[in-house]
C-alpha cells in the first residue's frame, strides 16, 4: 500500500463560529483507493497557506510511503529542515497527515483506531462543554455570571455533568499579568453563582488562557477553592511549566494544561515539573494519534489524567474519541455543545452524543467521513486566523 494523493479543505465556520473561524481538513488516498481524513489545529498562518504546507509536507515525506510506517515518517518530519524540535506549525501539519494515515490503517484492518492502540477501555466517554453565547442574548454570557448560571442549568437538562467557563478577561500577547481586583471579584462571583446553580450535579471547570503570572494565579485560586472546581486551566502561559508547577503546589484545585503544547518532549517537561494533574493535548497539534498515545502512557505512570482539547472541527474530535476510548487514564472529553449544527453537517454521519456522553464508533478508522458536497459550499474567504490574541497590554 502506498500513499498517492492529497486533497485539502479550508472550511469557513458560520456564526456563531463556535470552534473557531475555520477548519482545515485533509484527505489522503492510497494506490488502492482507500482514503483517510485529518485536521490541523490553529497553525498560526493564513489557512490557505497552511493547506499548501500540508501539500508540501505530504509531497516531501508521505507520497509513495506505506501509511502504516508512522514511526519512520514521524521522525523524518520532526527532523525536517534540521530542526528536531517541537515546532507548533510543523506539528500541526504532521498531526493532520498522521491522523489521516491512522484512518487508512483502520479501514484496511476493518477496525476502529482504538482497537489498534490497545482496544476499548471505555464504553462511553463523559463530555463537557463551554458555556457558549446564543443569538438573542441580551448580555455577554462570558461576562454575565447570572446569565452564565442560567445557561449552565440548561446544559444540565441536556445531560452534561461538567461545564467550563472563562470570566478572567481577555488574553493578550503580553500575558502573564496580575488580574485587577474587579476581575478577581467577577471570577469569584462566576464560580459562586454557578456552584449555587448546579450544586453537586455538575463539575465546574475554570478556564483561563495563560493570562496570569504564577503569583496572580495563586491569588485567584484562593478565591476559587471554596467552590471546589474540578480544574484550574492553564493559569500561566505555556512556555514555563516550572511556573505552572508553583501554582499547582499552592492550590488544592487540580491544574489542567496542554492545548498549546506539542509532542512528548513538551509534555515531559510538564510531567517532570509536576505542573498539571490533567493533560489537555489537542490531537490536531500534538503530533498525531500515536504521539498522543505515548503522552498518555507517560501520564499514566504518574497518575495524571487526560482531557483532550477541542476548539476546532469534528475530525480532531473524532481522533480525540479514539484516544480517549483506549486510554485507562481518560477523564473527560471536550465537546462543542452536543456536536450538533454545522459540526454535524460537516460529516456524513455525526458523532453519537447521548445524555452527556459520546458513544465510541464501531466503524473502521476514525469513524467519520467528510461531507465534501456540503463543505464545498462553505469555503473560508477571510484573512483572520483561527484564534487571535489581543495585541496590546491589558491594564
Catalytic residue set = 209, 309
Residue 258: how many CA atoms within 13 Å on its side-chain side? Answer: 36
**Helix, strand or coil, per DSSP, at residue 393:** coil
Using an 8 Å Cβ cutoff, are 188 and 224 in contact?
A: yes
List the grid coordinates of 25: 481538513
Q: What are the CA-CA distances from residue 272 to residues 20, 231, 250, 302, 353 (Å)?
A: 32, 19, 17, 10, 35
Instruction: Render 81-110 in DSSP notation, one character per residue.
Output: TT--S--HHHHHHHHHHHHHHHHHHHHHHT
Quick one: how far is CA 128 from the chain centroid?
12
- CA 273 to chain CA centroid, nearest Å: 22
Q: With H, G, I as helix, E, B as strand and everything else as coil, classify residue 333.
A: strand
79: CB partners within 8 A, 6+ apart? none
Place of cell 509532542: 263
Amino acid at each position: 500500500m502506498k500513499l498517492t494523493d492529497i486533497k485539502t479543505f479550508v472550511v469557513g465556520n458560520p456564526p456563531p463560529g463556535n470552534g473557531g473561524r475555520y477548519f482545515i481538513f485533509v484527505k489522503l488516498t492510497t494506490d488502492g483507493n482507500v482514503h483517510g481524513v485529518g485536521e490541523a489545529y490553529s497553525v498560526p498562518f493564513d489557512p490557505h497557506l497552511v493547506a499548501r504546507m500540508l501539500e508540501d509536507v505530504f509531497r516531501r515525506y508521505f507520497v509513495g510511503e506505506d501509511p502504516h510506517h508512522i514511526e519512520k515518517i514521524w521522525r523524518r518530519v520532526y527532523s525536517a529542515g534540521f530542526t528536531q524540535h517541537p515546532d507548533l506549525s510543523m506539528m500541526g501539519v504532521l498531526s493532520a497527515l498522521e491522523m489521516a494515515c491512522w484512518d487508512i490503517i483502520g479501514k484496511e484492518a476493518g477496525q476502529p483506531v482504538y482497537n489498534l492502540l490497545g482496544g476499548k477501555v471505555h464504553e462511553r466517554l463523559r463530555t463537557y462543554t463551554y458555556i457558549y453565547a446564543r443569538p438573542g442574548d441580551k448580555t455577554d454570557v462570558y461576562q454575565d455570571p447570572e446569565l452564565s448560571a442560567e445557561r449552565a442549568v440548561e446544559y444540565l437538562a441536556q445531560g452534561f455533568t461538567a461545564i467550563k467557563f472563562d470570566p478572567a478577561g481577555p488574553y493578550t500577547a503580553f500575558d502573564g499579568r496580575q488580574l485587577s481586583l474587579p476581575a478577581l471579584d467577577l471570577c469569584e462571583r462566576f464560580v459562586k453563582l454557578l456552584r449555587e446553580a448546579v450544586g453537586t450535579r455538575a463539575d465546574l471547570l475554570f478556564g483561563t488562557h495563560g493570562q496570569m503570572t504564577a503569583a496572580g494565579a495563586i491569588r485567584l485560586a484562593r478565591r476559587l477553592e471554596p467552590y471546589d472546581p474540578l480544574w484550574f486551566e492553564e493559569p500561566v502561559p505555556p512556555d514555563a511549566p516550572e511556573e505552572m508547577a508553583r501554582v499547582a503546589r499552592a492550590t488544592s484545585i487540580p491544574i489542567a494544561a496542554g492545548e498549546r503544547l506539542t509532542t512528548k518532549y513538551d509534555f515531559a517537561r510538564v510531567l517532570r515539573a509536576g505542573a498539571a494533574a490533567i493533560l489537555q493535548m489537542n490531537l490536531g497539534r500534538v503530533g498525531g494519534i500515536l504521539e498522543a498515545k505515548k503522552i498518555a502512557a507517560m501520564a499514566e505512570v504518574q497518575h495524571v489524567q487526560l482531557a483532550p482539547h477541542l476548539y476546532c472541527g469534528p475530525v480532531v474530535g473524532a481522533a480525540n474519541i479514539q484516544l480517549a476510548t483506549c486510554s485507562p487514564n481518560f477523564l473527560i472529553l471536550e465537546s462543542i455543545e452536543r456536536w450538533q449544527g454545522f459540526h454535524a453537517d460537516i460529516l456524513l454521519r455525526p458523532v453519537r452524543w447521548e445524555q452527556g456522553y459520546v458513544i465510541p464508533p464501531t466503524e473502521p478508522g476514525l469513524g467519520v467521513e467528510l461531507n465534501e458536497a456540503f463543505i464545498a459550499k462553505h469555503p473560508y474567504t477571510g484573512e483572520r486566523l483561527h484564534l487571535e490574541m489581543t495585541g496590546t497590554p491589558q491594564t
